[in-house]
Amino acid sequence: MTDGSRTRQREQTRQTLLREGRRLFATRGYGAVGLSEIVRAAGVTKGALYHHFDSKAALFRAVLEEVQQQVAQTVATTAEAQDDPWTRFTAGCQAFLTASTDPDVQRIMLVDGPAVLGWNEWRALDEAASARHLAEALTSLIEEGTIASQPVAPLTHLLSGAMNEAALWLAGSAEPADLADTRTALSRMLEALRVG
């Protein structure tokens, strides 16, 4: 076996572990999934798992990062499809809320993420994945005068927290109209930031 094929095989094993870990964490929750179940589903040995991840928590962290990156990509793609900076901003916020209502995303990113990693590490990952983009959008809107001049960091954290909390609330909601109502409330809240 050549070095290139070994590298490909290792990466394929890693991707299989991530895929199966994500599926199991999303459907059953972190606490209900054991390592033996993950390796059985992935068709690998525990040794192979430990070659890539030193613990179940490390695998979960990698799954969470992947989920956060996918949500951030969805938000960016949705926002970038808009020409106007304000519409780009509001479309991105709405896209985050919508993407966060996916049950897999809710379970991994919003429910188990903070519980498994701890609040500080979870917040650091959240900031790396999406809060930075939110801060950049707000900075741009403040600089162009669309939003009143103000410190960006508090506003970023307030909006991020509100959207995360709304997504968590929607995760426990059985009422079909709640997503539309929450999207409307978010629109009103964002519109209140706009000058004039």
Domain 61-192: which topology?
Tetracycline Repressor; domain 2 (1.10.357)
User: What residues pair up with 147 in beta bridges, in sequence order?
Assistant: 194
Average pLDDT over residues 69-91: 94
Let me know if 145 is exposed, middle or buried by CB neighbors in 10 A (0-12, 13-18, 19+): exposed
How many C-beta neighbours within 10 Å does residue 125 have? Answer: 21
* pLDDT tens column, 115-133: 999 989 988 888 887 888 8
Per-residue pLDDT at 65? 93
Q: What are 53's two structure tokens? A: 């991840």
What's the predicted TM-score (pTM) here? 0.87
The mean pLDDT of the chain is 92
* Comma-separated ranges of CATH 1.10.357.10 domains in the chain: 61-192
User: Predicted confidence band at 103 (pLDDT cuts at 50, 70, 90)?
Assistant: confident
Q: List, in sequence order, the alpha helices (H) in the chain.
A: 3-28, 35-42, 46-52, 56-80, 85-99, 103-105, 113-117, 119-126, 132-143, 152-171, 177-191
**Homologous superfamily of the 1-53 domain (CATH):** Homeodomain-like (1.10.10.60)
Q: Where do the CATH 1.10.10.60 domains begin and end in the chain? A: 1-53
